[in-house]
Structure 1
Amino acid sequence: MSTTTRPAPGELVFRDADERDVPALVALVESAYRGDASRAGWTTEADILQGQRTDPEGVLAVINAPGGRLLVVERDGVLVACCQLEHRGDFAYFGMFAVRPGTQGGGVGKAVMAEAERVAKETWGVTEMHMTVISVRDELVAWYERRGYRRTGRMTPFPYGDERFGVPQRDDLEFELLLKVL
């Protein structure tokens, strides 16, 4: 007699993304950051960037990247979040983090970050997690700081003119490296 363990109702289920997930992942990331739908959550970039946040090719590249993973997070069979993990030597890079706008503020993001940190540490033995955040996103940076990340002051320019990253609505955008010792 075999038993199949099913997740409890409301439980978050983590798995690696595959090519079949691409359309749903693009829609999730776009809904979390761009356009009017993103305003239902607090992580919107709609006031500073318009246009796309990602596209199917970009998501597929993350899924297929050597040394990387794109974690899919489901609750009751519905995609609610995702994040990218990439092994870069002594550290892991955390990116493409999105939580469905209607579920933001309910602890999903905290749970995803904790799982991502655990996976990176156990899988690759890394001692740090790195990420880049648009430096003018003060509320978002503060949220990461409450999770143990620290600002480094190390900036990289925003890719103005490359619409794959969106259409900037202001001229002072740059990325800041945040890091956390695991």
Structure 2
Amino acid sequence: MSTNLEASAGQLGGRDIRRVVYSEERIATRVREMADEITHHFGPDDDLLVVGLLKGSFVFLADLVRRIQRPLHVDFLVAASYGTGTVSTGDLKLLYDPEASLRDRSVVIVEDIIDSGHTLQRLVPLLREREPRSLDVCTLLHKRLVTLDPAARWVGFDAPSEFLVGYGLDHAEDFRHLPYVASL
């Protein structure tokens, strides 16, 4: 089923979208599956904190937490590494730190996409210093260009080596609103 946005995707913002990589329906199905996996992974004694990396993860995070069938809290981090380019600069700027304590909690970091891995490589050690009970990574997309510690426990899709937008992912703040993931 094609949406009006998909039909007009080639002319959004004066920039060409080459193709829809993951449809709205395919994303919804995979998010439900990941939420079920997370629900069953944690026990009744786990104090679950889901930390979304903004801005890119906000759509995915919202859909994911609404489908996790257990008590949880949500907080956010804002980290920037792209600016207006299509390649990560490698410089990580933490613009907002979670207000919630991580100590003795089961923390799931929710990321939109893992490509260079720079953000998580710099972020995970900072979060481990806060002594969480456990620290896991959940990502919608993974380009498999890097091995991380910890490895992403939950991965929605292995992503192609293309610049992807939509479903929260952007290029210079454009395209986040698309209900699907597309390639520029």
Same-fold status (TM-score > 0.5): no
- The structure whose residues are more often helix, as a share, is 1
Does 1 or 2 have the higher relative contact order (CA < 8 Å, sep 6+)? 2
Q: TM-score, normalised by structure 2?
A: 0.28
